[in-house]
Structure 1
Amino acid sequence: MTMIFLGGSRDIFELPVPAIERIGAIVAAEHGVLIGDAPGADAEMQGLLAGYNYEHVGVFHAGAEPRNNLGDWAAYRISPSNGAKGFAVHAAKDREMTRRADFGLMVWDGASPGTCLNILHLAAIGRRCVVYDTMRGTAGTVHTIPDWRAMLHHAPDVRREVEARMTADERFALLG
């Protein structure tokens, strides 16, 4: 079964119509869905999938219980590293979803470094990711790290924030 990592920015509370249509196509094709438990885009996508009564969904979370699991799907706790705080608490679950994914679909607000880092993770391992940028009203597909860089040409502050969150291996991949 093809696995799709769905994600997006926590500040998005309305999905763009093309993203809704794409998620409908994922359901129609019966692809597996890997999704986080965050408020915002994750919860909006979960609500859409729950409305379809879609079963092929796994919710990944870092806490004892998912913050959101709107379809009562299988939940996978990915423990954060010892001493993790803030963003780092959720980084391990995001990396696990990337590892399991064949493709990605991200709804990005044009500013969220977490969503941007997930797009980079997918590009670094050769996974295509469809990106809906709600700030700019654009959609595109990121295939490679150069594509990711091009996506950020107008957002140098976001790129700096992403680079601050990277592991040494991720920095190496970006420079490679």
Structure 2
Amino acid sequence: MPKHRAPPDRTKRPLGAARLDELALAYVARFATSRAKLTRYLSRKIRESEWTDEVDAVAACEAVADRMERLQFLDDRQYAVMRAGAMTRRGLGVRRVKAQLYVDGIAAADSGEAIETAEASAEASAVGFARRRRFGPFARRPADDPKLRERQIAAFLRAGHSMTLARRILAITPGDEAALAALDDDAGLD
């Protein structure tokens, strides 16, 4: 006979400034995050709970974020560099990196270095994307179908790469070792 679980308790649990600090500490210990993402997380926890402290909930949330920055658990500039590097290594382009940093709440002053790095490695990132997806010179056979080529270009654009870079990579036919070597040299790949 199956065991029946008790329904979850849907009442709002009490939450104070001390518990909010514990939640923030657990969050930054588990995830690399930005100040804005931490603040959103804490705000959600406040909405889901019953605030019991005399201090204003929003002020407590900002105070916890300030404390995490003072303790150097949060660094938006370092987070932006780490996030942009991970995205470019996955083959995503500059536009996607900029969009993600904006969503993560990184200010333009903190994201400048990360975006410059992503722009410098844009070509290598696009080549890596084509290699993983087996597009252009990495395909098993040439893409003669115009609809397939358009879908591949669309995939490049969704990944945040420029149209000219996508067309340049897709113009190389599979097996063209000289063009592939030139592309690798331009991208700075070995």
TM-score, length-normalised on structure 2? 0.24
TM-score, length-normalised on structure 1? 0.25
Higher strand share: 1
Higher helix share: 2
- Answer with 1 or 2: which has the greater Rg: 2
